[in-house]
Structure 1
Amino acid sequence: MDENLLGSDKELEKQLETNIKKGLTTEEVTLKQQKYGKNELPKGKITPWYLIFLKTLVEPILLVLMGAAVISIIAPIISNKGHIEASEFIDAIVIFSIVLIDAILETVQTIKARKSMDALKSLSKPKTVVIRNDMQQEIDASELVPGDIVVLEAGKYVPAELRIIEANDLSIDESILTGESVSVDKTHLALKESTTILAEMKNIAFMSTFTTSGRAIGMVIKTGVETEIGKIAKSINENEEESTPLEKKLNSFTYWISGLSFILAILIFTTLFFSGDQKAWANYLMVAITLAIGVIPECLAAVVSITLSISTKKMVKQHVIIKKLQAVETLGNVNFICTDKTGTLTQNKMTVKKMIMDNKIIASKEYAKEKNDNHMDLFLKALVLCNDSVTEGSERIGDPTELALVDFAETIGYDEQDSRDVWQRIDEMPFDSERKMMTTVNTINKVNTAFTKGAIDQLLQRCSKIMIDNVVRDITEEDKKILLESANELSKDALRVLAFAYHLNYDKLKDKSDLEHDLVFLGAVGMIDPVRETAVNAVRLAHEAGIEVVMITGDHAVTALAIARDLDLAHSEYEVMTSNTLNQLDDKQLLRVIEQIKVFARVNPEHKVRIVDALKQKGNIVSMTGDGVNDAPSLSKADIGVAMGITGTDVAKQASDIILTDDNFETIIKGVNEGRNVYQKIKRAIAFVIGVNLANVLAIFILSVINTVSPLEATNILWMNLIVESIIALSMGMGSNDPTLMKIKPIKGKNSLFKGLGYTLFKIILFTTIASIGAYYFGMMFVTEDYLKEILGDQYNPSLSWHQALRSNEYSVEQKIEIGDFGRTAMFVTITCAPCFYANFIKLSNWKADKKINLIINKPLWIASMIAVLVNLIVIFIPGFNEKILNLASVNSYNSNNWYLILGALGISLIPVIFMLLLDAITFLIYHYKPEPWRRNRILAQELVELDIQNEKRKRRSKKKPS
């Protein structure tokens, strides 16, 4: 701790070259402004829209797609020896269009979510009162310099870091910085001991905190970036933006798929070159490049962006603003949520929960239902009259504890402003930290009545009587013992106890110092910043989803643990760690225990960053939730930062990835559900696209090796990839969410995008490859001798079958392609229609969780599938397009002997979906009804453990219920 806290006023005056009484002169201010600069916070970085757009274009997946587009232009030029038709550019145009759409979507979403103003600057209020040139004057807060003398009043923001040199009943709300919900009483006295905990720096007023009561004079010791909030702002700006887990996985996937396509191209070209006619190398190169491009999922970037975009629109309706598309998926993978207490899990509003009345503890709600007698009347008057807070509409000025008293009195019908107008204050003794009491005198029915509030132990020393059951009698030692025991019981539950008393002897007093003697004890209240009811349910849902919730707060450990118990977060002091303990641990020691701690108390902003960093080092996906300036660095550091939209500061919103517009912790869990479904939909689309592409490439490769000529043309593959595949893959992201995903525990650590897709990919590749090859040979059954003679003319050899003709080097590539028209047509029908049939049955949902089959119908996908099948059948019969562009059998080639070729191919297209459903049914039945012995035992053990946990929770809840 520096000398600014420990030094005397005279030492500070000398050090900062100022005069406490007269302030700085104009000349001194000018010199200091040149030295220290303006009292402004560093501005947040704002990236221009064009840089966002360009940055999007250089993402790996889009670079590979653009490379594929360029190759798709070069390949036909090589194949056709420089001659190229306009139709050859179709694939390149489509790919470039997909790249452009994806980049535009990403840019628009980022700009829509970004704040247009400088969030940090808005926190510093523009005007402040200072003493300069031996006179008070109002100046812009940005003009303050170290050594300035600032005048503070209730309801004003602190304009810079101040060392308090005079104070009168000064309280400051520092929750924005420390997270502590109760206002801090400040003093002008120098601290006796060093401290690094902001909440314990009692003689410092921190920049951007709020003065709730009293008046003070302070000396500016730090300005701008040197203040605590300035340090936080600087750390936010210095944090480099990390890629989200989805971005990392997609980048890794891109490298993998690029390498695979390159290897395939070499393998296919080499195989065809050495097994076929080496003179046709240009054609083989074209086939190799075409198949390599066929592996690359051109539509994937658009699928991901559109799926995420659809989800962000859904989440806006659920009160969630997504600043970056990929943040949706990251939220779905979160397995640790670190959350601030004040305003996030709690209401950030002190509330009366318990009462000590008639020597008993009763709930405040029960007390409010009681009959309004003389005792209640006096007690409620004490609450509102011995009180300086004011509420009017949404305006709330005053200490949070006093506001809580006013709120409680209003629930029973006592308005503080009306009460003060009727029963006017004629005298008072303000609160003093030494007396720990406050007294006011009000005229009630022409009787001057004194009301006193304060710490119960101090107040009982001044009481000679007590009101019990509406009767005033002498207070006994037994009464005091009961009251103190009751207060201790409330304190154990982290309730702040405040007691009230009165007397009618004001007119008989000879000295004002006797005002707080011979009092009649009325009762006491227990207050706390209560948990949000929705937060309790949200924590329960998080635990069910396998997500650990960690509470990080500036409050004391006792208060934090009490709140954690109400939330079912933690139940013993061993799960709580204070900042003192945290400071004593090195990084390795912290890593060993970090996942066992559920509550961190009395923490500073830098502690929050350290906690988040430690959890991330353990392989966790960490979300940080908060609303204050003190949360901003950790919001920025976390994998996913979640800020509160209503109570949250602009700093927190700027540092976050997601903003909750309803400040409801439960909304985060809705976001997790949406994120998990988004990720599942993306994985499903990837499984579909990669599975179909690999199946097509494998089938073409096998048939090319057998026949020395590709069974399909580049345009066939292009049609499949960019028309059919894209339509279906995009519609996969438009379906309803699967609620069972919230029963799955997130997988810890770095996981491949293909984790869990092996079985699905195996089914798609195996059955689609078999069906495609089968369809080709089915089509080639319709190649007759007359058909071969018509194509080969004088070169026709009756002894050669169509298969032998394809392998012969005597015929040109063009002739071989024409021979395969029927096989190509049948195979085209199968590769384009089979995916439309089984796309609706690719399930990656939690089918292991329940014996009941969870049917989720994706209407857009069904409609897209039917449209795709219809379009595929139509193009087969469009004269010119079918034979000139797609190289399929012409309409004129169908006759009475081959009319059922298309119907047969459609029938073969159903084979993959039939076998997939059959295999899934067998797997499902075996898993649920014939489990292996080891898995059956594990299930039973898990059920017993869960039963024990539920019984333990019921016992704890029953103990907490009042008798």
Structure 2
Amino acid sequence: MDENLLSSEPELEKQLETNIKQGLTTEQVELKKTQYGLNELPQGKMTPWYLIFLKTLIEPILLVLMGAAVISIVAPIISNGGHVEASEFIDAAVILSIVLIDAVLETVQTIKARKSMDALKSLSKPKAVVIRNDMQQEIDASELVPGDIVVLEAGKYIPAELRIVESNDLTIDEANLTGESLPVEKTHLPMKETTTILAEMKNIAFMSTFITSGRAIGVVIKTGENTEIGKIAKSINENEEESTPLERKLNSFTYWVSGLSFVLAILIFTTLFFSGSKDAWANYLMVAITLAIGVIPECLAAVVSITLSISTKKMVKQNVIIKKLQAVETLGNVNFICTDKTGTLTQNKMTVKKMIMDNKILESKEYAKEKNDNHMDLFLKALVLCNDSVTEGNERIGDPTELALVDYAEIIGYDEQDSRDVWTRIDEMPFDSERKMMTTVNNVNGVNTAFTKGAIDQLLQRCSKIMIDNVLRDITDEDKKVLLEMSNNLSKDALRVLAFAYHLNYDKLEDKDDLEHDLVFLGAVGMIDPVRETAVNAVQLAHDAGIEVVMITGDHAVTALAIAKELDLAHSEYEVMSSDTLNQLDDKQLLRVIEQIKVFARVNPEHKVRIVDALKQKGNITSMTGDGVNDAPSLSKADIGVAMGITGTDVAKQASDIILTDDNFETIIKGVNEGRNVYQKIKRAIAFVIGVNLANVLSIFILSVINSVSPLEATNILWMNLIVESIIALAMGMGANDPSLMKIKPIKGKNSLFKGLGFTLFKIILFTTIASIGAYYFGMMFMTQEELRVILRNQEYNGTWHQALRDSSIHVEDKIEIGDYGRTTMFVAITCAPCFYANTIKLSNWKADKKLDLIVNKPLWLASMLAICLNLIAIFIPGFNDKILNLTEVTKYNSTNWYLIPGAFAIALFPVIFMLILDGVVYATYHYKPDPWRRNRILAQELVELDIIKEKQKRKSKKKVNQ
């Protein structure tokens, strides 16, 4: 801040070329408009819908799928010598449809989130009262220029950055900018020393902050992007959007799958070429490419998008707006939540919590139940009459502390407007920062009575009497000592203490200056911006889920620590760091202590960014929550930014990934739960798809090497991948959430999508491969010698079907026909076995508890039954089964082979049976026969948890005693 702008009025007029009394002339305004432009915040670039759509199409996994679609067209053309039929385009059409569905879903979700965010805009204050050409007039705030003289009053937003030149009892709520919960007293006096801390610039009014009380005149010193809020908005717009952890993992996964499919294609083609007939190279190429495509999870992109889309719809009902689909999963992986205090953990509403009454500390709720005697009557009159705040419906104008007083009085039955109408104000002494008191004189039932409120230490110096238990007596030094000690105890708990007194001798006073002397002490209140009741529970849920919650606030350390203790966030001053200490630490020093600090107090916006950056450097997935302009840079910097929808500024919403429409910290934890379940569902789908695909490729590769011909056709594999697999994988994302996931600690640092999937993949690949190969050989048992001779058109042939498949002199087309029975039973196994075991692929926290909570996924059961029905239809529809899928014709079934299909179904049940048996053995061993090392670890963990419970109980008991 330029020192001249903080100094005297003549220097201010000279620098800004203005006249504080008369304002700017019309000519000066037009000239300055050309020089400075409009007083508007910089807007972020709005990406049009078609660019969002095109951007989704160039994501790695979709590019691979489009490449697979092209190959599925080119391969048949090569194998058929340039001839191609319309049916060859079916595979490409299905793959491209999946690509388009995914792109459309993500585009629609992004646009919907943008519309929802626009609907939440709340800080639109377009008018300002200015003095121009020596006349007062109202103009659009966007028309303001440096040098304009602006008239300010309570209940208005500051339209630009102003240097205050006249003020009367001016307080401004700067929580949106600085994070400080209490309004700041402002002055028009020049500042002797410059400061970089915004909250200490006492003669500057910042754009978009709110006037809670008083009146003032200010001169515009900065507009638009040059203001503090403008600088923040500009920095947000210049930030490059980072990809989410899920996007990075999916991209890495795509490269891995692409490389694997390429290697498999070369390996399979080489193996078939050298083990079979060289003349059939085109067929081998087709098989190799088909199997390579078979590894690629064509449905995965759609599974991810649909699963995320379903979750975003659920979260809208839970008051969460997701601006980007992948942000759901990121929220699930968060292990540090950095949150603003005011309005997020607290109610952003000062509330009377304690009373000093009759030389005792009382709970405000208990005092409200007491009998309304003369003492209470006078005290309540003091609350509402010595007060300038106004509440009417949803409109609340005034200082938050004064609003808290009338709110409390209203609970007991005193309405401030009715009271002021009955007991009219006839005189007053406004609040003064030197006196630290305010006095009003009201006509109470014909008697002019003075009511005074102020700092308790100042007020006690002016009191000669005290009212205790409804009895008036002289106040003693001992009384004052006890009252001050009580006040100090409340202050240690971060309560703001305000004392009240009265006297009846107004008419006898010779000098108004004597109005605040010879007072009768009535009592005092302790006020605080209380924590949300739901926030306490939410913090506990976060801790149970292994998530650290860090409070970052502009408030003083004492206030912040008191709130942190109530939330069970921090318990000692060693867990609190102020901005002064933070400024003294270099980046290396901060990294060493960053994870031990639970409260950061008195911070500026740049401090928040530094804190988030340090946590990210330590490998943490970090979320930042907030509502103010001061939160916007850190919201943008965090892995996941969460803005408040009700109290949040437009800048904060613009910088965030997620918006809470109820401003409730507990909603974030619901989002974490949803995010963890989304990630788990996606991992289940990946385990299922990759496991099944690799099992199919492995079984086909083994049988191809043994028999020198592929046991399945390309259409069989594509049916499996695009029909059966897709139906089941999509249904995996539609099931109910698993609450046990909120008991698992998030994995710190980078971790692959395959982390924790090794055992699941092993089971799927092993048992499915065995079942597939077994089903093939079971089917080939039905190949008779007579049928073999008919296919080979050789009545003298005495070899087995296996010898015929290995014979290089036999045409590939004949070998394919020979394998009809084996192909049919193997087709049943590979398409039906996944339908049976899809419901057993659980990645829930079964290690945490011996009790198993079975979660039934109804959509998955229905999808599995649908897939089995489709398989049956495919097997028995004439023409489709033999012409397209190359399965056994219906006419070939007879009394000797009628159990071919039932037998194949029985083999398809083997994988799920063996998986359940293996899971049961592992579960029983883990819980009932743990190894010595893990048994000792369990005992140690139980002791630690017991100590934590005892410590919490001790703190609660101590808190009750203090109360």
What TM-score results when the alignment is normalised by the length of structure 1? 0.99
CA shift, 1:614, in A, is 1.1
User: Which letter maps to 1:867?
Assistant: L
Distance 1:861 1:120 in 2: 37
Distance 2:128 2:894 in 1: 93
SS at 1:267's partner residue? helix
User: Which letter maps to 1:501?
Assistant: A
Distance 1:334 1:712 in 2: 45
Mapping for residues 377-388 of structure 1, pairs under 5 Å: 377-388=377-388
Distance 1:630 1:183 in 2: 16
Distance 1:840 1:26 in 2: 76
Contact 2:206 2:228 (C-alpha < 8 Å) held by counterparts: yes
CA shift, 1:657, in A, is 1.4
2:502 aligns with: 502
SS at 2:377's partner residue? helix
2:939 aligns with: 940
Contact 1:161 1:223 (C-alpha < 8 Å) held by counterparts: yes
Q: Cα deviations across residues 528-585 of structure 1 (Å, max 9, x unaligned)?
A: 0000000000000000000000011110010000000000000111111111111111
Name the CA shift for 1:828/1:116 in 2 (closer, same or farther; >3 Å).
Answer: closer
Mapping for residues 623-662 of structure 1, pairs under 5 Å: 623-662=623-662
Deviates more, 1:110-119 or 1:683-692: 110-119
Distance 1:79 1:140 in 2: 72
1:226 is aligned to 2:236 = no
1:827 aligns with: 826
Distance 1:620 1:193 in 2: 40
CA shift, 1:651, in A, is 2.2
SS at 2:479's partner residue? helix
Contact 1:736 1:857 (C-alpha < 8 Å) held by counterparts: yes
2:321 aligns with: 321
Distance 1:89 1:244 in 2: 35
1:870 is aligned to 2:869 = yes
SS at 1:854's partner residue? coil
Mapping for residues 874-953 of structure 1, pairs under 5 Å: 874-953=873-952
Name the CA shift for 1:372/1:122 in 2 (closer, same or farther; >3 Å).
Answer: closer
Contact 1:124 1:208 (C-alpha < 8 Å) held by counterparts: no
SS at 2:343's partner residue? helix
CA shift, 1:117, in A, is 8.2
1:447 is aligned to 2:459 = no
1:428 aligns with: 428
CA shift, 1:82, in A, is 1.1
Distance 1:97 1:806 in 2: 37
CA shift, 1:144, in A, is 1.5
User: Which letter maps to 2:386?
Assistant: C
CA shift, 1:438, in A, is 0.3
CA shift, 1:21, in A, is 2.0
Distance 2:144 2:896 in 1: 95
1:462 aligns with: 462
2:612 aligns with: 612
Mapping for residues 136-175 of structure 1, pairs under 5 Å: 136-175=136-175
2:87 aligns with: 87
CA shift, 1:671, in A, is 0.9
CA shift, 1:134, in A, is 2.3
SS at 1:139's partner residue? strand
Contact 1:115 1:654 (C-alpha < 8 Å) held by counterparts: no
Deviates more, 1:13-22 or 1:385-394: 13-22
Name the CA shift for 1:515/1:797 in 2 (closer, same or farther; >3 Å).
Answer: farther
CA shift, 1:124, in A, is 5.3
Distance 2:753 2:96 in 1: 25
Deviates more, 1:466-475 or 1:796-805: 796-805
CA shift, 1:45, in A, is 2.1
User: Which letter maps to 2:384?
Assistant: V
1:961 is aligned to 2:960 = yes
Mapping for residues 712-723 of structure 1, pairs under 5 Å: 712-723=712-723
Q: Cα deviations across residues 829-858 of structure 1 (Å, max 9, x unaligned)?
A: 000000000001011111100111221111
User: Which letter maps to 1:650?
Assistant: D
Name the CA shift for 1:797/1:199 in 2 (closer, same or farther; >3 Å).
Answer: farther
User: Which letter maps to 2:109?
Assistant: Q
Deviates more, 1:90-99 or 1:621-630: 621-630
Q: Cα deviations across residues 766-797 of structure 1 (Å, max 9, x unaligned)?
A: 00001100110111111111011110013x55
Distance 1:248 1:447 in 2: 76
User: Which letter maps to 1:765?
Assistant: I
CA shift, 1:751, in A, is 0.7
Contact 1:439 1:450 (C-alpha < 8 Å) held by counterparts: yes
2:593 aligns with: 593
Mapping for residues 51-130 of structure 1, pairs under 5 Å: 51-115=51-115, 123=123, 125-130=125-130
User: Which letter maps to 1:516?
Assistant: E
Q: Cα deviations across residues 587-641 of structure 1 (Å, max 9, x unaligned)?
A: 1111111111111111111211111111111111111111112112211211111
How many residue pairs match? The answer is 962
Name the CA shift for 1:224/1:380 in 2 (closer, same or farther; >3 Å).
Answer: same
2:309 aligns with: 309
Distance 1:4 1:631 in 2: 29
CA shift, 1:190, in A, is 1.8
SS at 2:908's partner residue? helix
1:725 aligns with: 725
User: Which letter maps to 1:432?
Assistant: D
CA shift, 1:123, in A, is 3.2
User: Which letter maps to 1:55?
Assistant: K
1:816 aligns with: 815
Contact 1:236 1:655 (C-alpha < 8 Å) held by counterparts: yes
User: Which letter maps to 2:853?
Assistant: N
CA shift, 1:662, in A, is 1.7
**Tell me, which stretches of 5 or more residues in structure 1 are unaligned?**
none
Distance 1:69 1:79 in 2: 16
Distance 1:217 1:124 in 2: 21
Mapping for residues 701-716 of structure 1, pairs under 5 Å: 701-716=701-716
1:270 is aligned to 2:258 = no
CA shift, 1:2, in A, is 2.8
1:133 aligns with: 133
Contact 1:41 1:120 (C-alpha < 8 Å) held by counterparts: no
Deviates more, 1:653-662 or 1:751-760: 653-662
SS at 1:131's partner residue? strand
CA shift, 1:133, in A, is 2.0
Identity percentage of aligned residues: 86
RMSD between aligned residues: 1.3
1:546 aligns with: 546
Contact 2:116 2:321 (C-alpha < 8 Å) held by counterparts: no
User: Which letter maps to 2:563?
Assistant: I
Distance 1:797 1:229 in 2: 93
CA shift, 1:650, in A, is 2.3
SS at 2:646's partner residue? coil
Distance 1:900 1:120 in 2: 64
Distance 1:218 1:115 in 2: 36
Distance 1:828 1:356 in 2: 82
2:29 aligns with: 29
What TM-score results when the alignment is normalised by the length of structure 2? 0.99
CA shift, 1:444, in A, is 0.5
Name the CA shift for 1:118/1:802 in 2 (closer, same or farther; >3 Å).
Answer: closer
Distance 1:317 1:119 in 2: 16
CA shift, 1:46, in A, is 1.2
User: Which letter maps to 1:882?
Assistant: N
Distance 2:745 2:45 in 1: 37
Contact 2:785 2:798 (C-alpha < 8 Å) held by counterparts: no
Distance 1:805 1:728 in 2: 37
Distance 1:862 1:875 in 2: 20
User: Which letter maps to 1:648?
Assistant: G
Deviates more, 1:487-496 or 1:631-640: 631-640
CA shift, 1:125, in A, is 2.1
1:674 aligns with: 674
Distance 1:472 1:586 in 2: 60
User: Which letter maps to 2:404?
Assistant: A
CA shift, 1:140, in A, is 1.8
Q: Cα deviations across residues 911-961 of structure 1 (Å, max 9, x unaligned)?
A: 111111111000001100111101100110011011101111110111111
2:685 aligns with: 685
SS at 1:337's partner residue? strand
Mapping for residues 768-783 of structure 1, pairs under 5 Å: 768-783=768-783
**Tell me, which stretches of 5 or more residues in structure 2 are unaligned?**
none
CA shift, 1:118, in A, is 6.9
Deviates more, 1:93-102 or 1:645-654: 645-654
CA shift, 1:174, in A, is 0.8
User: Which letter maps to 2:548?
Assistant: E
CA shift, 1:122, in A, is 6.5
1:580 is aligned to 2:573 = no
CA shift, 1:498, in A, is 0.3
Q: Cα deviations across residues 290-332 of structure 1 (Å, max 9, x unaligned)?
A: 0000000000011111111111111122121111111111111
